[in-house]
Chain A
Amino acid sequence: DAGITQSPRHKVTETGTPVTLRCHQTENHRYMYWYRQDPGHGLRLIHYSYGVKDTDKGEVSDGYSVSRSKTEDFLLTLESATSSQTSVYFCAIRRDSSTDTQYFGPGTRLTVL
């Protein structure tokens, strides 16, 4: 258990509404990540953070923004949700070790109608 929680775990929303997903860690790791997982595409990186207020884009960042005001929380916001953002979203942390392994949260299933 990497001490990662995600909320909400499931959400159904309508096109055009804003949505915020929360990732919370209990172990104080510097690196946190947001991925989306879709059939046929595997895991794709949306944004990541390497410290408080330090974030960078991943390969599928369009339509998403992130914020990290505290070490333990990493928020992913869909400013105006679209049906193409229906997906399963995973948060991950990277443990600072010789292997730099990433560990994943339980995921959030988001449906945009």
Chain B
Amino acid sequence: QKEVEQNSGPLSVPEGAIASLNCTYSDRGSQSFFWYRQYSGKSPELIMFIYSNGDKEDGRFTAQLNKASQYVSLLIRDSQPSDSATYLCAVPIQGAQKLVFGQGTRLTINP
């Protein structure tokens, strides 16, 4: 099993709806998780960081972590066409010296 798995999509969501992106991980000892957004032809940029069970909200973005199920998700409320991008989940390993990335989920918001 890969350390971090994401559904590569593409995921298509109508404008104004909630987009839900999911990530599962294999190491039960993982303590923190990152969500990056990557626009086509650009570099990944950090949008959310979560390290405790439950929800973390930042504007229209909510990260949800369930350590028992080894599952982390990203919800985007009131989706906008500008949210169309690939979203990458990442988990630190080896004392946070390295990050392991999922394959990324390509999200398209349809006007």
Contacts and interface: CB of A to CB of B under 8 A. Distances in A.
B101 to A, nearest CB: 4
Nearest to A90: B43
Interface residues of B, number: 22
A43 to B, nearest CB: 4
Contact of B49 (A45, A50, A99): A99
Given A100-B92, A106-B43, A42 B97 contact: no
Given A50-B97, A104-B43, A42 B103 contact: yes
B104 A42 contact: yes
A99 B32 contact: yes
A99 B43 CA distance: 20
B98 A104 contact: no
Contacts of B55: none
Contacts of A33: 98
Interface string B67-111: 000000000000000000000101010001111111110000000
Interface in A34-93: 40-45, 48, 50, 58, 90
A103 B47 CA distance: 11
Interface of B: 8, 32, 34, 42-46, 49, 51, 88, 90, 92, 96-104
